[in-house]
Structures are given as C-alpha cells and as structure tokens.
Chains A and B, each alone.
Chain A
Amino acid sequence: MGSVARSPLDQRERSQGASGGITISGVNHEYRPPRGRPVLALDGISLEVADREFIAMLGPSGCGKSTLLYLVGGFMPLQQGRIVVNGKQVTGPGPDRGIVFQNFALFPWKTVRDNVLYGLEKQRLPKSEREEIAQHYIDMVHLAGFEDSYPSQLSGGMKQRVAIARTLAIKPDTLLMDEPFGALDAQTRSLMQEELVSIWTQSPTTVVFVTHDVREAVLLADRVAVMTARPGRLKEIVDTKMDDLPQSEVMKTRKYLDMVDYTWNLVREEAIAADSEKDR
C-alpha cells in the first residue's frame, strides 16, 4: 500500500510546521467529582510524538488515557503542564486536531453527506469544492451509495466510517482516536483496522490512538505508550514498528507475536492493579 499515489486533494494545504508532532510535558490532571474527594487521573505525563507518527495509548480502564487525549484535543481545560501540537500551545479545540469517538458522535439528523460536509462548511470553501472533497472521502471509506442515508440506518462499522470521513475531510494535522473500534464486533473491527492503515499510508498524519486492545495497539502503532493504573503515569513506551507487510502477514510474524506478548505482560500487571483498586 505504501506506493499508492497521493490524490491531489491530499496534497492540498497541510500546514507543515518545522516543529510538527506533539509535545506533552508535565501534565497532571485531577478529576473533581461534584461530590467527594478529587481523584488524580494523570500524574506527571511527559511524552513526545514525532510528526506523522502513529502512537497508541494503552492501559487499564480508568487510567486516564482518554482524558489525556481530550486534553490534547483541547476539550478539557489543562490544569497543569503544557501541551504543544505542531508548534502551537493547545488552548481549545480546533480543526487542526480531528477526533473520532468510540460512540461515533455523528449528527443523527444529518445524512451521511451532510455529516461529512459539516466541517467543510465551516471552512468557507466554494460549494462545488466542498462537495467534491466530501464525495472523495465518502468514496475513500467505501460508503458510495449511502450518501443520503441517515446514521440510524447504518451499521456500527458504517457509522464509524462516516465519522472517520467527516474528520479526515477537514484535513487535520493530528488525528485523535478514542477507542474508535471499541464498539464494533471483532470482524468489523479487523476490517476497519486494515482500512485505517491503508488510509494512513495514503496520507500519513500524526495519530494518537487510545485503545485497551493490546493486539490492535501493536498492529497499528509505531510506538505503544503503556500507562499505569490510576493515577495514570507512563509505565513504558514500546517500539512496535512492524515490517512493511500486509496486516494479515504481519500478524503471523514472530516479531508481532513477541511484541503482543511483551506488551500484554506490561498491561496485565496494571489491569490487575486497577482491578484490586476497585475492590477496596
């Protein structure tokens, strides 16, 4: 897939700051419930993500990996520390960072086409250009023929494709994915993983991919950041860049299997810790 010619649309302005990538330094975050004591969710997270690197965040549930993603997205106010994306300090959400959620978060009252068009309408592009770009991304995620369907008429996998198309259409420099395939069945999930890789090879962007699926993380990411049980700290960053093979082949390699095994052991300890925390 690596040699696929880039479409002219993809070569449209992608701001290439010299200091691409993401720098997270000294981020602490406290979750403050309306009642009860505040809980430390993130504890001193520092992480460098290179430009166009695919990094996965892995950890037991409740370790704050999604919170970290939301902080990078600017959806939550940063309490302590600094996050810089493409040379710009994060102060709020913006179209330079696209996000895909586990529950799709499509606008249910809009058709597939109108969902994909929504972000483009905010960019004040001429109508014909908007529609051309929207169609390009709808075709890319194999939803041609469903342009006029409403999300409630689509399957889970199709909904997530719409969400991905909607996010990619605005050409974000950074793609934030919050357990995007977590709500899908196993077969759909592995098809979607293949598609994501093929899209990413066609037009690589910096990706932060939150998941609790070890195989998924190792398969997709260049590096996997394993987080500890609450309070979330970085436990270890595992280099999981795989050989340039089709996914089905990668999954048979010794390297992949060893990596999954190694990473799973790291996560396992934390999952057990998180579980015993719950019982207390």
Chain B
Amino acid sequence: MAFLLPPLTGVVTRMFHDLFNGRLAIDIGITLFRAISAFSIAAISGITLGILISRVRPIRWFFDPLLSIGLPMPKVALLPIFMLWFGLFDASKILMAAFSASFQIVVTTWAGTRGVERELVWSARSLGASERQILWEVIFRAAMPQILTGLQIAMPICVIVVLVTEMVMGGQGLGDSMLRSARYVDSPGVFAGIVEIGLLGFCVMKTMEVVRRRLLAWHQETQKDH
C-alpha cells in the first residue's frame, strides 16, 4: 500500500530531507530559471508581435491563420524538432516553453490593442502626441489589463512545459528529479515532487497577482478590493 500511496509522514520527511541536503533548492532554482527565462522571451516577443499584428495589415494577414493553427495545437509535440535544432540542454527547454506560452500573449495583446476606444487615441493626438507616443503611452497602456491577463496565463504554461521537457530530456530540475524517483519506484519521492511542484506553482501565481495589482493600481478591479 505504501507503494501506491505513501503515508503523509513519509512524503513530508522526504521533503525535509530534500530541503536540508540542498537538493530542493537546486531543483527549484533550475526549473525556475528555465521558466522565467522562457517567460521573458515569450513576453517580449509575444507583446511585440501582438502589437505589430494589430497595427500592420500584412503582418496580420500572415499571422492570423498561423495563430488559429498554433493556438489549439499541443506545442510540446514539436519537442523533438526543438531538441534537434537547439540541443539537449537549457536552450531547447527554454525555447520550447517560450514558444508554447507566446501564443496566449500574442492573442491577448492583439485583442487588447484592437479594443482601445478611438476617442482615447484622438484625444492624445489632439493634445499633440506623435504616433509613436500614442502607441506606447496610450494604446499599450490601455491594453495593459488584457496583456497582463495573457501574461498570467503564459506563466503557468512556461512552468508546465519546462517540467515536461525536464521529464522527457532530464538535465535536473523538479521534473527530472520527480521522474527519476519514479524510475526507482521511489513513491515518496514522486509524491514529494508533486507537492513541491504545487507549492512552486502557487508562489508563481501569487507573485503574478501582486504584480498585476501593482501595475493596475488605477483600475477599478484593484480599487474594489480596498
């Protein structure tokens, strides 16, 4: 029975063990490093592409069908190609996760920038703002709530894909450690891994919420909480 469902004490003991021998810190550090790198790449490229799509007609024409194909597709299915192109180490894991997460950011940025009311843009223009200033000071800012929603969806995708690539390719991190435990039929290790992943996810999501509240201090959604 202990093999199918290890006792809670066993799992907790295992986690303390991981914590004190430094294993946990290293695994979380590596997974988090990969996830945050992937997230940064996805955020920068996704927001840029989303804005370009909403502003430049030929780019929209080109990417619109690609997004419709790519969005529902399980992007990890391309992992063998990423391994082939970018090797077996950090680069392929990070790029795989960035690629998977960028779709959500592109779509929400596009939707957000498209929905900016024209009176807001006209006001800025009549107050003397240049087209570039309008893009960054008005359209980007007005789309911020939706862009942040995209980022909040993208962050867990990054964590998930990084864990999956670690499970498939190894190379340390929480995903690798967990799968290794599974190979040695070390069920407290597997369950400890699940709990650790859960805690990591919780911390990441809460951090994103704090960031959102900070950036949207002006927004009604934030003010209702007070």
Contacts and interface: CB of A to CB of B under 8 A. Distances in A.
A110 B122 contact: no
B123 A105 contact: yes
Interface in B208-226: 217-220, 223
Given A93-B122, A170-B128, 10 more contacts: A73-B126, A93-B126, A99-B122, A105-B117, A110-B218, A118-B129, A122-B129, A122-B133, A150-B217, A163-B123
Most buried by B among A101, A105, A167: A105
B69 interface: no
A123 B218 contact: no
Q: Range of interface residues on chain A?
A: 20 to 34
Contact of B128 (A94, A108, A110): A94
Q: Range of interface residues on chain B?
A: 20 to 34
A150 B120 CA distance: 16
Given A110-B218, A152-B220, A105 B120 contact: yes
Interface SS majority for chain A: loop
24 contacts: A70-B122, A73-B122, A75-B122, A75-B125, A93-B122, A93-B126, A95-B126, A95-B127, A97-B126, A98-B126, A98-B127, A99-B126, A101-B119, A103-B117, A107-B120, A108-B142, A110-B218, A111-B218, A119-B127, A123-B128, A150-B217, A150-B223, A166-B127, A170-B127
A265 B44 CA distance: 60
Nearest to A111: B218
Interface in B113-141: 117, 119-120, 122-129, 133, 138, 141
5 smallest beta-carbon distances between A and B, as pairs: A119-B127, A122-B128, A105-B119, A95-B128, A150-B218
Contacts of B125: 75, 92-93
B185 to A, nearest CB: 55
B12 interface: no
Contacts of A163: 123
A153 interface: yes
B123 A101 contact: yes
B144 interface: yes
Nearest to A166: B127
Contacts of A122: 127-129, 133
A152 B218 CA distance: 7
Interface string A60-96: 0000000000100101000000000000000011110
Contact of B144 (A95, A109, A118, A150): A109
Given A119-B127, A122-B127, A103 B141 contact: no
Contacts of B128: 94-95, 119, 122-123, 170
